Amino acid sequence: MNVVLEAKNVSKIYSTKGKGNEYKALDNVSFTVKEGEFVGIMGPSGAGKTTLLNMISTIDSPTSGEIYIDGNNIVKMKEDKLALFRRNKLGFIFQDYNLLDSLTVAENIALPLALAKVNAKEIDNRVKKIAATFGIERILNHYPYQISGGQKQRCAASRAIITNPTLIFGDEPTGALDSKSATDLLESLTQLNEKARATILLVTHDAFAASYCRRVLFIKDGRIFKELYKEERSRKQFFSSILAILSDIGGGVSDVI
Amino acid sequence: MTLFNLAIRNVKRNFKNYFLYFASMIFSIVMYYTFVSLKYNSQIEKAADASTKISGGFSVSSVLLILFVALFMIYSNGFFTRKRKKEVGLYSLLGLRKKQIGKMLFYENLCMGLISLMIGILIGALLSKAFLSLLLVLMGLDLHVTFEIPVRAVLQTFAVFFLIILYTSFQGYRLIYRFKLIELFSAEKEGEGVPKGSWLMAAVAILFIATGYTMALFFMKIATKGLGLLPLAFAILFFTVTGTYMLFHFFTVAMLKRAKKKKRSFYKGMNIFSTSQLLYRIKGNATSLATISVLSAVTLCAVGFSATVYISTFQTADQMRPFSYSYVKKDKHLDEKVNAALNREKANHPVTNDVALKTVFVKGEVSGVRYVSNIRYMIDEGFHLMPESEFHSYMKQIGKSENVHLKPGEVFAVDGSYDDNLSGFDDSYVHKSVQLNIGKSSMRMKIKGAGAYYLSDFGEFVLVVPDHVYDRVKQTGKERVVRNITVKNERDSEALSNNLAKAVKNSEQYSDYYHLFSEGLQSSGLMIFIGVFLGLVFLLATGSIIYFKQMMEAAADKPQYDILQKVGVTNQEKKRAIRKQMAVVFTAPLILGVLHTLFALKALEKMMPVSVAIPIFICVPVYILIYFGYYEMTVRSYYKEVS
Lowest mean pLDDT across B120-124, B351-355, B367-371: B367-371
Residue B545 covered by a domain: no
Report how many domains make up chain B. 3
The beta strands (E) that lie in B332-415 are given as 351-366, 372-374, 377-379, 382-387, 410-414
Q: What is the structure's pLDDT at B193?
A: 59
Q: Are strands B372-374 and B351-366 parallel, antiparallel or unpaired?
A: unpaired
Q: Does residue B280 share a domain with residue B263?
A: yes
What is the residue type of B54?
I
Q: Is A102 on the interface with B (CB under 8 A)?
A: yes
Residue of A nearest to B560 (CA): A100
- Shortest distance between the Cα of A84 and any Cα of chain B, in A, equals 6
What is the residue type of B480?
R
Query: What region does B422 belong to: left with phi over 0, alpha with psi -120 to 50, or beta?
Result: beta
- Per-residue CA distances from A208 to A42, A198, A249 (Å): 11, 20, 17
pTM for the full predicted model: 0.78
Which helix (H) or strand (E) element contains residue B143?
none
Residue-wise pLDDT tens digits, B503-515: 887 666 888 898 8
- Out of A92, A94, A110, name the one closest to residue B267 (CB): A110
Residue B396 covered by a domain: yes
Tell me the β-bridge partners of B486: B353
C-beta neighbour count of B519 within 10 angstroms: 16
* ipTM, two decimals: 0.84
* Cβ–Cβ under 8 Å, residues B611 and B605: yes
- Among B506, B428, B409, B510, smallest CA distance to B466 is for B409
- Per-residue CA distances from A75 to A5, A66, B217 (Å): 13, 6, 66
Residue-wise pLDDT tens digits, A74-97: 988 888 888 888 888 888 888 888
Q: What is the structure's pLDDT at B185?
A: 66
Domain C-terminal end among B190, B221, B246: B190
Residue B478 covered by a domain: yes
CATH number at residue A49: 3.40.50.300
C-beta neighbour count of B25 within 10 angstroms: 29
Average pLDDT, chain A: 86
- Shortest distance between the Cα of B270 and any Cα of chain A, in A, equals 6
> DSSP letter string over B498-513?
HHHHHHTTTSS-EEEH
Q: Does residue B148 share a domain with residue B24?
A: yes
Q: Is A257 on the interface with B (CB under 8 A)?
A: no
Residue-wise pLDDT tens digits, B380-436: 577 888 998 888 888 888 888 777 888 888 888 887 766 655 545 566 677 778 888
Q: Does residue B233 share a domain with residue B205?
A: yes
Do A101 and B560 make contact, defined as CB atoms within 8 angstroms? yes
HEC per residue, B523-564: HHHHHHHHHHHHHHHHHHHHHHHHHHHHHHHHHHHHHHHHHH
| Long-range Cβ contact pairs of A28-32 (< 8 A, separation 24 or more) | A28/A65, A28/A223, A29/A65, A29/A219, A29/A222, A29/A223, A29/A224, A30/A65, A30/A224, A31/A6, A31/A7, A31/A217, A31/A224, A31/A227, A32/A3, A32/A5, A32/A6, A32/A7
Report how many domains make up chain A. 1
Q: How far apart are CA B433 and CA B445, in angstroms?
A: 5
- Out of B191, B279, B567, name the one closest to residue A111 (CB): B567
Residue of B nearest to A97 (CA): B563
Q: Are strands B382-387 and B462-465 parallel, antiparallel or unpaired?
A: parallel
- Out of B194, B269, B279, name the one closest to residue A117 (CB): B269
Do B567 and A159 make contact, defined as CB atoms within 8 angstroms? yes
Q: How far apart are CA B375 and CA B607, in angstroms?
A: 11
How many contacts, defined by CB atoms under 8 Å, are there between A and B? 88
Residue-wise pLDDT tens digits, B287-310: 888 988 998 998 898 888 888 888
Predicted confidence band of residue A34 (pLDDT cuts 50, 70, 90): very high
Residue A19 covered by a domain: no
- Per-residue CA distances from B509 to B461, B505, B552, B610 (Å): 15, 9, 67, 28
Domain span holding position B589: 193-323+512-537+551-643
Q: Does residue B8 share a domain with residue B135?
A: yes
Q: What is the structure's pLDDT at B444?
A: 86
Edge-to-edge strands, sheet with A64-69:
A22-34, A3-15, A64-69, A72-73
Q: What is the structure's pLDDT at B420?
A: 53
Residue A159 covered by a domain: yes
Domain span holding position A147: 36-63+78-256
Count helices and strands (H / E) in chain A.
Answer: 9, 10
- DSSP H helices, B370-512, are 388-397, 467-476, 494-503
Residue-wise pLDDT tens digits, A138-173: 999 998 888 888 899 889 989 988 888 889 999 888
Average pLDDT, chain B: 83
